[in-house]
A and B are shown apart, each in its own frame.
Chain A
Amino acid sequence: MSETLAAARAEFTKMRAVRATSVALLLFAAVSVFIAALGGWSAKGAIESDNPGLRSDFTPEQAGLDGILYGQLALIVFGVLMMSGEYTSGMMRVSLLAVPRRGRLYLAKTAVTAVAALAVALPVTVVSYLVTQLALGPHGSTFDADGVPRALAGAVVYLTLMSLLAVGVAAAARSAVLPLAVLLPLVLVGSQILSVIGATKEVARWFPDRAGAQMLTVDSGDALTGLLVLLAWTAAALTAGWLRHRSWDG
């Protein structure tokens, strides 16, 4: 056990030592809060000018969760980089010399990714929500409005699971390029587009990000289903990554 703990502490140090992973985390915070502020500020303008451009289903509570939906891209990049860094320049060999048990290394890495994502997602989610409300001014809602605490908690879990999904995909692909090329467009536009096209709508509902988004939808009746679907995706990705990692030979 203490060896696994040492491996996890080492992964934490490694995470901080690699600049790209730290940058991705900072970017997640910056983008989320910035979009949250921008969204709140522009919605306030729209409300006060009776702008029809405002979405019909606009609520200040839900608007408070928009920022992290964009910020999550950086968190996915973070998850991918946490793993893919091992496949550049022979780093994996060094890591396996230090921690030769395949399972221990993989566990340490996923655990550190989860803890780091969680630790950052929690304050960023809360701050983003508050920033949006602040920007909305008189139209803003409160922290304890109906369904909000649950949606915020759902958002934190969602973000953590998405970063773990990214770890699993990167481990399965043993690279950064492929996972990023699949995950980022999927989250950014793919499933949004698919979910408005009638034929693919049903399918898109089961995509990890679409399903997971129910968790951070205020008053969604499907939050639990969303959680289970995203959990299944994450578990599948981590398992695929584990199988690929376990067979590492070289």
Chain B
Amino acid sequence: MLAERLTKRYGPATVVDDLSFTVRPGVVTGFLGPNGAGKSTSMRMLLGLTRPDSGTATIGGRAYRDLTYPLRHVGALLETSAPHRGMTAVGHLSWLARSNRIPRRRVDEVLDAVGLTGAARKRVGTFSLGMGQRLGLAAALLGDPPVLVLDEPVNGLDAEGIRWLRELLRAKAAEGRTVLVSSHLMAEMAQVADELIVISRGRLLAETSVSEFIGRHGRTFVRVRTPEPLRAAQELQAKGATSVRRAADGGLEVDGLPAGEVNRIAAAAGVPVEELSTHTGSLEETFLKLVDDGGDPTHV
């Protein structure tokens, strides 16, 4: 799946700005950005719903609207695509199946997969947020597609549902399928994604693997617990630590020195060390830091 120089303007606002990225099969790719970054708009362009002002989006080399029976190629879940309220879940999935010549038995299979069998004949208008989301996922899975494009799929799902979805996405990727999932929460992405596409204000900030992303952008520090934090801090700062902070629990967080060096400096100064460990900043911090940096691509 390929986005090439996608640009979309709504009035004076450029919502997606010269955005290019590649989504590969076999891994879960997280599409990350703060609210209003342009994730949903980009996904709608991938799916041929929204017309880009310039640029192209292709899936397996073809534009979405040129796919024959597209539901068999791409399963999509969008934020703002709910079936008619007067339909039942079965009714909705049945016409979808018909439209793409998908065998009728798939309807029952996907209803079962998302745990909606009991509500199959209920009208969609009576569904809760989570049930609606499950129905959307059922629709995405209906054609057993090799590509999944899911916009904020965890929205409204309960803990059990979220875990189920994570496992599903990993399983689909492991089968060699292409999986693109958006979220505005880095922590969510960290749990499921292998690759990351980070955007902010419509522009690409990073396209990399999760681990590499943290390695490059993450803050690495050494935690030290000592009964003499003040003296330790002075010594470390004198010997090259770029910053030493006091954490809430009284431990020290040391930047700019590897753990071994910290240990040596402490030992030489006769400061007892009760605990010493290396930490990498959480994805959430990394993500916020990157977005705060204003999305200057030279950081990447």
Question: Using a CB–CB distance below 8 Å, which chain A residues touch chain B?
Answer: 3, 6-7, 9-11, 13-14, 16-20, 85, 88-91, 93-94, 96-101, 249-250
Contact = CB atoms under 8 A, between A and B. Distances in A.
B5 interface: no
Contacts of A17: 84, 87-88, 91-92, 94-95
A212 to B, nearest CB: 30
B48 A96 contact: yes
Given A6-B100, A98-B70, A100-B64, A93 B78 contact: yes
Nearest to A98: B99
Nearest to B74: A97
B98 interface: yes
A10 B65 contact: no
A147 B96 CA distance: 45
B68 interface: yes
Nearest to A97: B76
Nearest to A108: B99
A121 B99 CA distance: 26
A100 B67 contact: yes
Contacts of A89: 82-85
A90 B82 contact: yes
Interface of B is mostly: loop
A10 B96 contact: yes
Interface of B: 44, 47-51, 64-65, 67-71, 76, 78, 80-88, 91-92, 94-96, 98-101, 123, 139
Contacts of A16: 91
A15 to B, nearest CB: 9
9 contacts: A9-B98, A13-B98, A17-B92, A17-B94, A97-B47, A97-B70, A97-B71, A101-B65, A249-B50
A91 B44 contact: no
Contact of A6 (B67, B80, B94, B99): B99
B44 A250 contact: yes
Given A89-B85, A97-B76, 9 more contacts: A6-B99, A11-B95, A19-B86, A85-B84, A85-B86, A88-B85, A91-B84, A94-B81, A249-B50
Nearest to B75: A97
Given A98-B100, A99-B99, A93 B51 contact: no
A183 B15 CA distance: 39
A211 B12 CA distance: 47
B84 A100 contact: no
Contacts of B96: 10, 94, 98
Contacts of B92: 17
A241 B98 CA distance: 25
A13 B98 CA distance: 8
Contacts of B49: 93, 96-97, 249-250
A20 B87 CA distance: 9
Contact of A13 (B51, B84, B85, B94): B94
Contacts of A20: 86
A6 B48 contact: no
B71 A98 contact: yes
Contacts of A97: 47, 49, 70-71, 76, 78, 81
Closest 9 CB pairs between A and B?
A: A17-B91, A10-B99, A93-B81, A100-B65, A13-B95, A10-B98, A14-B95, A89-B82, A98-B99
A93 B82 CA distance: 8
Nearest to A14: B95
Nearest to A248: B49
B152 to A, nearest CB: 14
B81 A3 contact: no
Nearest to A13: B95
Contact of B95 (A10, A19, A90, A93): A10
Contacts of A91: 81-84
Nearest to B88: A17
Contacts of A10: 95-96, 98-99
A6 B69 CA distance: 9
Contacts of B139: 94
Contacts of A3: 68-69
A250 B48 CA distance: 9
A2 B49 CA distance: 23
A93 B78 CA distance: 8
A96 B44 CA distance: 11
Contact of A100 (B48, B51, B88, B101): B48
